[in-house]
Structure 1
Amino acid sequence: MNKLAAFLGATAIVAATSSAAYAARTDLVLGVVLEPPHLDPTAGAAAAIDEIVYANVFEGLTRIGPNGEVQPALAESWEISDDGRTYTFKLREGATFHDGTSFEAEDVKFTLERAMADDSTNAQKVLFSAIESVEAVGPVTLKVTLEHPQGSFLYNMGWGDAVVVAPETADGNKENPVGTGPFKFENWAKGSSVTIVKNPDYWGEPVALDKAEFRFIPDAAAAIPALLSGDVHAFPMFPPDAVTQVQGDPRFEVVIGATEGETILATNNGKEPFSNLKVRQAIAHALDRDEIIMGASNGFGVPIGSHFSPANEAYVDLTGTYPYDVEKAKALLSEAGYPDGFSGTLKLPPPAYARQGGEVVASQLREIGIDLEIVPVEWAQWLEQVFTNKDYDLTIVSHTEPNDINIYARDDYYFNYDNDVFDAVIEELDRVSDPEKRNELYAKAQRIIAEDAVNGFLFQLPKTGVWDAKLEGMWENMPIQANDLTGVRWAE
């Protein structure tokens, strides 16, 4: 071999080695705060379910994009009848479930009718209440007829609660989720992590990641060393009180975005003394939102005065409805018949915004004579005691479902709130498609529950994202309770 050939050969080897050394990695470890109770988004209210499987493992007819927009998913396109009642969907041809069975219109019909059924366990059954009938016209054609026009129908079909499941595997999705998404479920190490892997038979554009692990890391004490050591590459929701410890570190990107999480002091309106409007107004006047936001989210939250996201174009700033006024709060308590105050319980689920924010709220209410016993509960206990059985006085929770002010009109909801005027507004909203009219109705709905002081409206939960600076495609905001990995990749 002459010298030139030897040199070129050596150069080729170095180039190949260098290329291999700098090839973009295809694995990802995400730190998430909560472990889900199960993995079926059509059978549970916990946001932690959708945060793992939405858009990754399961898909719906539509999906919610990073800016809150409705996008096609398993429905490639659709036509709407002139009267706004009939939607004819053209479905994706060639899509399959992870067990190899084909995806067809009959699967969507099964999914929707299952969600609508009398014995449905779907936590958002109301999403399907306007559906009159579902017909599989052909393998890839579906016709849905509504009882009345519904402006939010396509948006509703993009919720995690509306993802499509197959009749063959639906009953097993809590432990072994089978969807049509770009990732397949691989393993759930209880108490530790959930792992998903690339679906080689995906109908759409392949994802860049071969494997993603959602690791459960509930507190800042564990999150910081996990990030700094590289054991975890990304935290979609990094503990707010730890953000300052990584800001300015060039290894990481820190992105403070918005969520749909209205963080509230949820109140049992059906239980004395909280059924008394003046008591609820007194509580509202006693809440110093700025102090709560600092204690619960290190100052990153945005104050709210009703159950509505400030990022929504229909938002009305109602934070001045009951301004912070301790003396006014005491006077209202006295007028309500509680001049010496009263005692109660404050049940707090695990997230820091609840546990830390709860300490601040309890201190503030103590100033007006309301003595609260703080009761820490795990999520399973919260879902059973508070959400299902309504066995509580007060609690703190973020409602992260998108655009969900209609929950205040639901019968037997855990707030125990009942207002016929509000219900009528929501009923009208459900039938209106005109954006301007819908915004007017949203504003009216916000004012009613703000004036009724149904709950203590605290702040909009911030999305405190922290991840490796080489990662691309992580969502800045969280318009739906999800960690969508379909566009995530490592920079080469």
Structure 2
Amino acid sequence: MMVTFSRRALMLAGLALGAATAVLPGAAQAARTDLTLGIRLEPPHLDPTAGAAAAIDEITYANIFEGLTRIDAQGAVLPWLAKSWEISEDGKTYTFSLRDGVRFHDGTTFDAQDAKFSLDRARGEDSTNAQKPLFSGIESVEVVDPLTLKVTLSQPNGAFLFNLGWGDAAMVAPESAAGNKAKPVGTGPFTFSQWVQGDRIVLRKNPEYWGAPVRLDKATFKIIADPAAALAALLAGDVDGFPIFQALENLPMLEADPRFTVDVGSTEGETILAMNNKAGPLADVRVRRAISHAIDRQAIIDGAMFGVGTPIGTHFAPHHPAYQDLVGTYPLDLDAARALLAEAGYPEGFKATLKLPPPAYARRGGELIASDLKKIGIELEIVPLEWAQWLSDVFKGKTYDMTIVSHTEPMDIGIYGRDDYYFQYDSPEFKKVMAELEAATDTDTRYKLMAEAQRRITEDAVNVYLFQLAKAGVWNAKLKGMWRNAPIQANDLTGVHWED
């Protein structure tokens, strides 16, 4: 017997079935495979080997681009595109065995020729790599065979494998390197899909990835500069979270909301009042020491960061075993500050500029520092800058007196030994310490030299060391695998997934 049903009856039956399925206790729903994360800053471009902005690595590191080694969530160095290596007895030659079957997103094969191209490009005379000094100790790069690379250093470098894990050491291909700023082509588990300027950057799962497949099919980085807008987007569900949440005053409220996970960890971000050591009065160490005595670090943490941050007295992460607690070197002492200024020939103080990049810690902190320095006669003209202007005027052009910025690169105290770096600090004694550190491989020896380097830059008051930037992450409570700490500039999505 044939039974027929009207369209209305079929529709009602379908609705009833759907309702019944929805209330069944064992009914399973597929976990989400899309993700939208809010970010504060839009990167100037997407090539981590050609720019200093942390926002580049925060999107591309481990997602689009990969290196011979990789730094994980705990700061450990892992083999990556190089599956293993051997080090010569004299510590100067590294022979890397590369993974087989790795391809770039455009289908071209990754091999030792690409690795050689990447390292030679980073260290070449015309290199635009922001961390070019990391590669200056490479004497030669040799292709032994398609899956074997030999790198010879001019002298042993105990940090070499760690340095290869930076985004600046990402592997790129000669066929696509020139276009990586706008359309990045890497070997990672995500491919670049779309960049809507001022709004979002979209990544898609790489179906041809050589390693373990990621669990996200799509990841969107939504650019939201305003802290109030960031909170509104989070509460409305327009974004699933912020790896670094700017509206710190709202953390207590979000912690009490079961919809969210609030996870406050640490970063490698030393937040400093950077001073141009060759600019007028700031060329005198007594003036820089006076400024160091005049600034209330804890008040800046409370006022600019709502109490979230750790005071520091040198350019080094407090969570590192070699950290030296030098916060007490320049206690808040306005009388000492005025005496040092008078000794340097500025009893009435002087005028200077304070050029501030966009982050809230800089803009809020700048007002507080200007107030502190006014008490000892230093009048600051505050000049707000966008990142492109800051990179051009301050970082490259060195046309500034003071600025506030977080240096989020890992283990980067070596920048104080670079010729013509934007601090314009020039100390043969410091360079000697760094040369010894670079050659040392024994851990105890390296830690002693790191301690000496910290003490020297603090004694010379190169900058005012304010606080270690915290990583305040807020995201949907069902989202798992987000990094708590930031041992490197990264929003590594390779382990991120949704749970019911």
Question: Shorter-chain TM-score category?
Answer: over 0.9
Determine whether 1:258 maps to 2:266. yes
Inter-CA distance 19–351: structure 2 relative to 1 (3 Å threshold): farther
> SS in structure 2 opposite 1:332?
helix
**Matches of 1:285 and 1:292 in 2, distance apart?**
14
Match of 1:404 among 400, 412, 416: 412
Q: Which amino acid aligns with 1:122?
A: N
Alignment of 1:42-441 (within 5 A): 42-239=49-246, 240-441=248-449
Distance 2:79 2:257 in 1: 38
Aligned partners of 2:356 and 2:384 also within 8 Å: yes
Q: Deviations over 1:373-413 (max 9, x none)?
A: 11000000000000001000000000000000000000010
How far apart are the structure 2 equivalents of 1:18 and 1:53?
41
| 1:157 aligned partner, one-letter code | L
| Matched residue SS, 1:242 | helix
Deviations 1:414-441 (A, max 9, x none): 0000011000000110000000000000
Counterpart-to-counterpart distance in 2, 1:483 and 1:333 = 44
8 Å Cα contact 1:41/1:49 also seen in 2: yes
Give the aligned residue type for 2:341: L
1:446 aligns with 2:491: no
Do 2:309 and 2:469's aligned partners in 1 also have CA atoms closer than 8 Å? yes
Q: 1:77 to 1:17 in 2, by over 3 A?
A: farther
Q: How far did 1:18 drift?
A: 7.8
Paired letter, 1:477: N
Deviation string, structure 1 residues 140-187 (Cα, Å, up to 9, x no partner): 111111111110000000000000000000000000000000000000
CA positional deviation for 1:138 = 1.2
The secondary structure found in structure 1 opposite 2:263 is strand
- Are residues 427 and 228 of structure 1, via their aligned partners in 2, closer, same or farther at CA, if it must alter by over 3 Å? same
Note closer, same or farther for the CA distance 1:194–1:391 as it changes in structure 2 (3 Å cut).
same
In the alignment, residue 315 of structure 2 is paired with which amino acid? H
Give secondary structure in 2 for the equivalent of 1:403: coil
Deviation at 1:22, TM superposition (A): 2.3
Matched residue of 1:205: which SS? Answer: coil
CA distance in 2 between partners of 1:19 and 1:357 (Å): 53
The amino acid across from 1:448 in the alignment is R
Do the aligned residues in 2 keep the contact of 1:264 with 1:455 (CA within 8 Å)? yes
Structure 2 contact 265–470 (Cα < 8 Å) conserved: yes
Q: Secondary structure at the match of 1:329?
A: helix
Match of 1:6 in 2: none
- How far apart, CA to CA, are the structure 2 residues paired with 1:188 and 1:163? 21
Q: Whole-Å Cα distance in 2 between the matches of residues 15 and 339 of structure 1?
A: 77
Distance 2:199 2:25 in 1: 35
SS class of match (2:327): coil
- What is the CA–CA distance in structure 2 between the aligned matches of 1:139 and 1:198, rounded to whole Å? 27
How many angstroms apart in 2 are the aligned matches of 1:340 and 1:84? 55
Percentage identity across aligned positions? 64
Describe the SS at the equivalent of 2:238. coil
**Partner of residue 465 from structure 2, selected from 457, 460, 465:** 457
Unaligned runs of 5+ in 2: 2-16
CA distance in structure 2 between the partners assigned to 1:17 and 1:156 by the alignment: 53
Question: SS in structure 2 opposite 1:218?
Answer: coil
Determine if contact 1:78/1:89 at 8 Å carries over to the other structure: yes
Closer, same or farther in 2 for the Cα pair 1:208/1:19, shift >3 Å? farther
* Letter of the structure 2 residue corresponding to residue 260 of structure 1: E
Q: Report deviation, 1:21.
A: 6.0
8 Å Cα contact 1:111-1:166 kept in structure 2: yes
**Gap change, CA 1:17 and 1:23, over 3 Å in 2:** farther
Q: Return the offset for 1:219.
A: 2.1
SS of 2:435's equivalent? helix
What is the Cα deviation at residue 76 of structure 1?
0.8
Following superposition, the deviation at residue 247 of structure 1 comes to: 1.8
Distance between the aligned counterparts of 1:161 and 1:202, measured in 2?
21
Residue 14 of structure 1 and its aligned partner are, at CA, apart by 3.2
Q: 1:40 — aligned with what? A: 47
Cα distance change of structure 1 residues 104 and 20 upon mapping to structure 2, 3 Å threshold: farther
User: TM (normalized to structure 2)?
Assistant: 0.95
Check the 8 A contact 2:21/2:27 in 1, yes or no: no
| Segment drifting more, 175-184 vs 233-242 | 233-242
Amino acid at match of 1:57: I
What is the CA RMSD across the aligned residues, in angstroms? 1.8
Say whether the 8 Å CA contact 1:36–1:49 is kept in structure 2.
Answer: yes
For residues 445 and 195 of structure 2, what CA distance do their matches in structure 1 show?
Answer: 46
Structure 1 segments of 4 or more deviating over 4 A? 15-21
Task: Determine the C-alpha separation between the residues in 1 that align with 2:187 and 2:228.
Answer: 37
What SS class does the counterpart of residue 42 from structure 2 fall into?
A: coil
Using the alignment, how far apart are the partners of 2:75 and 2:94 within structure 1?
A: 21
Alpha-carbon deviation of 1:136? 1.3
Distance in 1 between residues matched to 2:491 and 2:403, nearest whole Å: 26
Aligned length: 486
Paired residues of 1:350 and 1:378 also in contact (CA < 8 A): yes
SS of 1:96's equivalent?
A: coil
Secondary structure of 1:274's aligned partner: helix
1:171–1:221 CA distance, 2 compared to 1 (3 A) = same
Contact kept, 8 Å, 1:220 with 1:242, in 2: the verdict is: no
2:314, 2:327 within 8 Å by CA — same for their partners in 1? yes
For residues 123 and 53 of structure 1, what CA distance do their matches in structure 2 show?
16
Secondary structure of 1:144's aligned partner: strand
Letter paired with 2:236: S
Cα displacement (A) at 1:241: 2.6
- 5+ long unaligned stretches in structure 1: 2-9
Shift in alpha-carbon separation, 1:337–1:485, aligned structure 2, 3 A: same
The one-character-per-residue Cα deviations of 1:83-130 (angstroms, maximum 9, x if unpaired) are: 111111111110100001111110000000011100100000011111
2:487 to 466, 479, 483: 479
Secondary structure, counterpart of 1:320 in structure 2:
helix
Letter in 2 for 1:345: T
